[in-house]
Amino acid sequence: MRSLIDLQQEYSGMLAPTFRGFECGEGWSAVLDRALGDLRRSAPQVRLSVAKEKLGTLRLIMDDKLDANASAIARRAEEASAQTCEMCGEPGRLISTDCPVRTRCATHEADR
Ligand SMILES: [Zn+2]
């Protein structure tokens, strides 16, 4: 699994000038890798503005909110993140019964 720093270099051309870095755990790097690869293939003119964890899942905000391919990629990434531990990348579940709402595998369930 590539690190978030590696992804930022690999996909630097796909990131908007205002991009502040990946604001999520390393466990989602494979989800981000897939999303950015898909973006480069199917919506290469669109740039990623924001990638952050919010209410337990990964939210991607693109600089073109009307592009259908980019919107589909963001939706797929959000769905995938809800099944992927944000800490380690293993299969996880969205824990919404206590705070903060988060996606974790069994090992990292208690980690905030
Ligand atoms: Zn985990």
The model's pLDDT over 63-77, given as tens digits with 9 standing for 90+, comes to 999 999 999 999 999
Q: How many domains in the chain?
A: 1
Closest CA to 46 of 77, 28, 71, 22: 71
Ligand 1: centre distance to CA 44 (Å): 32
Q: What percent of the chain is predicted at pLDDT more than 70?
A: 100
Domain of 41?
Answer: 4-104
Residue 109 lies in a domain: no
Residue 112 lies in a domain: no
Q: CA separation (Å) from 67 to 1, 11, 24?
A: 29, 19, 24
Residue 82 lies in a domain: yes
As residues whose CB is below 5 A from the ion ligand 1, the structure lists 85, 87-88, 90, 105, 108
Full-model pTM:
0.96
Please give the mean pLDDT across all residues of the chain. Answer: 97
Residue 49 lies in a domain: yes
Residue 111 lies in a domain: no
* pLDDT at position 1 over 90: no
At 18 the pLDDT is 96
Residue 71 lies in a domain: yes
Residue 18 lies in a domain: yes
At 98 the pLDDT is 87
Residue 83 lies in a domain: yes
Ligand 1: centre distance to CA 67 (Å): 33
Ligand 1: centre distance to CA 45 (Å): 34
Ligand 1: centre distance to CA 60 (Å): 21
* Phi, psi for 47 (deg, rounded to 5): -115, 145
pLDDT in tens, 20-50: 999 999 999 999 999 999 999 999 999 999 9
Ligand 1: centre distance to CA 64 (Å): 33
